Amino acid sequence: MKMRCCFFLICMLSGLFMQAQPVPLKWEQVAPGVWKTTVGQPDKVDLLSTAGGSPRKEALQKLGELSFPLPQADCNAEIREGKVYLRFPLQEQEQLFGLGLQFKTVNRRGQILNLHMDHYEGRDDGRSHAPVPFYISSSGYGVLINSARYITVYAGTAVRVNSQHPPKAYDRNTDPDWSAQPYSDAVEMLVPTTGTEIYVFAGKNPMEVVQRYNLFNGGGVLPPKWGLGFTHRMPTLSTADQVKAEAGAFSQHGFPLDFIGLEPGWQTKAYPCTFEWDKNRFPDPAGFVKEMQAKGIRLNLWLNPYLSPASSLYNEVKPLSGSHTVWNGLVPDLTLSSAQQVYKNLFKKQHIDIGVSGYKIDEVDGVDSWLWPDVATFPSGTTAEQMRQVYGVMMQRITTEWFKEKGVRTYGLVRASNAGASSFPYVIYNDYYNHRDFITAMCNSSFIGVLWTPEVRASKTAEEWLRRMQSACFSPMAMLNAWADGTKPWSFPEVEKQVKDVALLRMQLFPYLYTVFSQYYLEGKPPVRAMNLVEGFSYQHQSQKTTLDGTENPYQMALREDVKDQFMLGDDLLVAPMFTGQTSRKVILPQGKWYDFYTGEYVGNGNIIVATPGLDKIPLYVKDGGIIPMIPPVLHTPAPGEQLPLEIRHYGEAESTSLLYDDDGQSYDYQHGKYMQYRLSAKMDKQGKWQGQTVVENKQGLKVAYKNIQWRFMLPH
Ligand code: GAL
């Protein structure tokens, strides 16, 4: 008996001991350059299965095979007290990016984040509209934790006693190199659940890692053509007549407009919502939607998913809802197909079938004191924490499917997203309103498969108004959100012309923009790109030491300098927004020659230049050999079958070839290969004269979109 007890005790102790040992992970290749492993017992609800994307196999194949990008023996997991502890190695020079839609910084190395769905409130601490647990290393790999939990990430902050590559110990008393944050050789993560899947993505460079990530999740979204025009959101209690009048004013001012957003007041009740038209403000919704469409303007409806007690669906939805309300509204458990179906029936009938083109899905992110608490329960058994992490993704998925069933693309807004959502036609926005931070968010969106818009709402001065508008016109959604202030693009008459010019420039760039988005779908390359994703961008982060001081900085911290106020739009265009008060700004050019977009002048090569564009312009640069196809300054994006003249601009001295994408602009046929590409080639002939060639490839029975094609060589002087 004694012996048996001892035996059990030894077994138990060794079991405990074994469990506490970090186990090297076993990786299974799931696509070229993509590997997966499973630790412990994963939850039923996770991020990727909620998003439900299927890998774009052919495109992944095209990117090719690579070997596992990390030393496998150094990738470890432990399960302790029912939680997963992970450790991945880091080299000294590596920089880390990703880990959610943060607004202040780009480089994550040295940060501690608790990835938690929330409205961003001014701190890069992990609480964000897209707390995506995916990091990308400058060394060419990415790690995704496929868990819908609040994951804590120590992104190169902690130093273990038995570290293989310990930092040097300095003496703070005498050594100026002493740092409060010594070098750490690992990313460590705590996933507060019994198990998780982990994915590793390889790449020859960080861009390829992001491409594999996006392609693995189904490829990036290709919006309908109208989605890339200008959009305006109405004051919340607007009536149908006021909306029509506003559209009329846009056309009188010669201002582009493709879709209008209706804010909460289109419904009988909002916060919580009924999703039913208010017949006082909109007596004939179907007729109204049709009339607007005939003017070339689509409609987008604001909602949050919480159901009003005044809704006719209330009793049906109640048993399918969580234990807690949001603003007294039911929170339907959308992991249940029955709950999805009830919403679908109503949304289809009330909105989609009468021609509404999309939604703005609000308030699915936070704030803690508004949303359901973490103690809430849901009938499916999904925990409140998981529900919080995935609610926005579920809403994106189901609404996208409803439009897809109808055969039409949608493009809308959402305030919460997460991993696996690259293919969803939604752009993130929020109530935070810092212009500079909005641009940093655009940079960060490019690492994690989401889109972000620096929407314009109101401004204190005409200068601020113009600078914000200029940025919005170079973003995934060019939007004026006048829900609270009733602003119009011409609200500051002193800059009306400049605002109009930049909005029309966006329209002119439509062929380029649409092609850039097609790359998101076809190759996984995000449309807006942080500079750290650009080949040849060799800017070295300089650590600035700050001085010791008894009040502000008792520990002398090294400050990282991030490149977060400029970005690439597609392969060829570098955008460097100006902010209020600036008359000049620094622009860091990647290696290779660069030219001014407006004049074609040579500006530099791999160096830092100073831009002084005046108030009228946003600084834009084109790389050597860049080809920018443009249409005339139209008020609506091209309608199906419409043919427009095309000017193809070539910049610089390099001969080059690029592809110009087109399709029907509204259906999903492109996903079955029904799209065409123009091969655009610029070459210098024997006489030293530039020649441009345009060849249509794979016409696929589609009507060509462009006529009177003219090349314009923007020759440097
Ligand atoms: C906010 C949203 C705003 C606006 C407003 C309407 O939550 O961020 O853009 O839609 O609700 O009440």
pLDDT tens digits, one per residue of 24-81: 899 999 999 999 999 999 999 999 999 999 999 999 999 999 999 999 999 999 999 9
Tell me what the mean pLDDT of segment 290-310 comes to. Answer: 98
Cα–Cα nearest to 475, from 447, 505, 506, 497: 506
Q: Which residues contact 58 (CB under 8 A, 6 or more apart)?
A: none
- Residue 178: the pLDDT is 87
pLDDT exceeds cutoff 90 at 382: yes
Rounded to the nearest whole angstrom, what is the distance from the C-alpha of residue 489 to the centroid of ligand 1?
Answer: 19
The DSSP 8-state label assigned to residue 638 in this structure reads P
**Cα angle, residue 36 at apex, residues 517 and 518 outer, rounded to 5°:** 10
- Residue 549: the pLDDT is 74
Residue 559 — pLDDT band, cuts 50, 70, 90? Answer: low
Ligand 1, closest atom to CA 431? 8
- Residue 536: the pLDDT is 74
Give me the half-sphere count of Cα atoms (radius 13 Å) on the Cβ side of residue 527: 25
Helix (H, G, I), strand (E, B), or coil: what is residue 519? helix
Mutate-to-test residue for ligand 1 from 129, 431, 480, highest number of ligand atoms within 8 A of CB: 431
pLDDT exceeds cutoff 80 at 538: no
**What CATH number was assigned to the domain covering residues 225-457?**
3.20.20.80
Task: Assess contact for 60 and 216: CB atoms under 8 A.
Answer: yes
Tell me what the mean pLDDT of segment 76-90 comes to. Answer: 97
The CATH number of domain 19-168+177-216, selected from 3.40.50.1820, 2.60.40.1760, 2.40.50.140, 1.10.8.100: 2.60.40.1760
The one-letter amino acid at 653? E
Give the C-alpha separation, 22 to 96, whole Å: 23
Tell me what the mean pLDDT of segment 487-502 comes to. Answer: 98
pLDDT exceeds cutoff 80 at 515: yes
Tell me what the mean pLDDT of segment 264-278 comes to. Answer: 97
Task: Assess contact for 34 and 216: CB atoms under 8 A.
Answer: yes
Ligand 1, closest atom to CA 271? 12
- Residue 11: the pLDDT is 42
pLDDT exceeds cutoff 70 at 343: yes
Rounded to the nearest whole angstrom, what is the distance from the C-alpha of residue 383 to the centroid of ligand 1?
Answer: 27
Which of 17-26, 130-139, 366-375, 587-596 has the least mean pLDDT? 17-26
Mutate-to-test residue for ligand 1 from 263, 360, 371, 453, highest number of ligand atoms within 8 A of CB: 263
- Residue 399: the pLDDT is 98
Ligand 1 pocket, residue 359 CB under 6 Å: no
Each domain of the chain, given as residue ranges in start order, spans: 19-168+177-216, 225-457, 531-623, 627-714
Residue 537 — pLDDT band, cuts 50, 70, 90? Answer: confident
Tell me what the mean pLDDT of segment 4-16 comes to. Answer: 47
Tell me what the mean pLDDT of segment 178-200 comes to. Answer: 95
pLDDT above 90 covers what percent of the chain?
A: 90
Give me 305's structure tokens: 């998913």
Tell me what the mean pLDDT of segment 295-317 comes to. Answer: 98
Residue 18 — pLDDT band, cuts 50, 70, 90? Answer: very low
Ligand 1 pocket, residue 663 CB under 6 Å: no
**What CATH number was assigned to the domain covering residues 531-623?**
2.60.40.1180
Ligand 1 pocket, residue 483 CB under 6 Å: yes
Please name the residue ranges forming H helices in 175-234. Answer: 206-216
Give the C-alpha separation, 441 to 226, whole Å: 24
Q: Tens digit of pLDDT for each residue in 445-478?
A: 999 999 999 999 999 999 999 999 999 999 999 9
Ligand 1, closest atom to CA 481? 9
Ligand 1 pocket, residue 481 CB under 6 Å: yes
Is the preceding peptide bond at 373 cis, omega within 30 degrees of 0?
no
- Residue 181: the pLDDT is 86
Ligand 1 pocket, residue 235 CB under 6 Å: no
Q: Using N-to-C axis directions, what is the helix angle for 435-445 and 462-472, rounded to 10°?
A: 10
Mutate-to-test residue for ligand 1 from 262, 269, 327, 362, highest number of ligand atoms within 8 A of CB: 362
Cα–Cα nearest to 106, from 573, 566, 474, 588: 566
Ligand 1 pocket, residue 264 CB under 6 Å: yes
The one-letter amino acid at 437? D
Tell me what the mean pLDDT of segment 259-271 comes to. Answer: 97
Rounded to the nearest whole angstrom, what is the distance from the C-alpha of residue 306 to the centroid of ligand 1?
Answer: 14
Rounded to the nearest whole angstrom, what is the distance from the C-alpha of residue 441 to the centroid of ligand 1?
Answer: 19
Sheet holding 96-98, edge to edge: 28-31, 34-40, 195-202, 141-146, 134-137, 96-98
Rounded to the nearest whole angstrom, what is the distance from the C-alpha of residue 362 to the centroid of ligand 1?
Answer: 7
Residue 553 — pLDDT band, cuts 50, 70, 90? Answer: low
Cα–Cα nearest to 418, from 380, 443, 383, 445: 445
- Residue 20: the pLDDT is 55
The answer to whether the 19-168+177-216 and 225-457 domains have the same CATH topology is: no
- Residue 543: the pLDDT is 55
Task: Assess contact for 525 and 659: CB atoms under 8 A.
Answer: no
DSSP output for 57-95: HHHHHHH------S-GGG-EEEEETTEEEEEEE--TT--
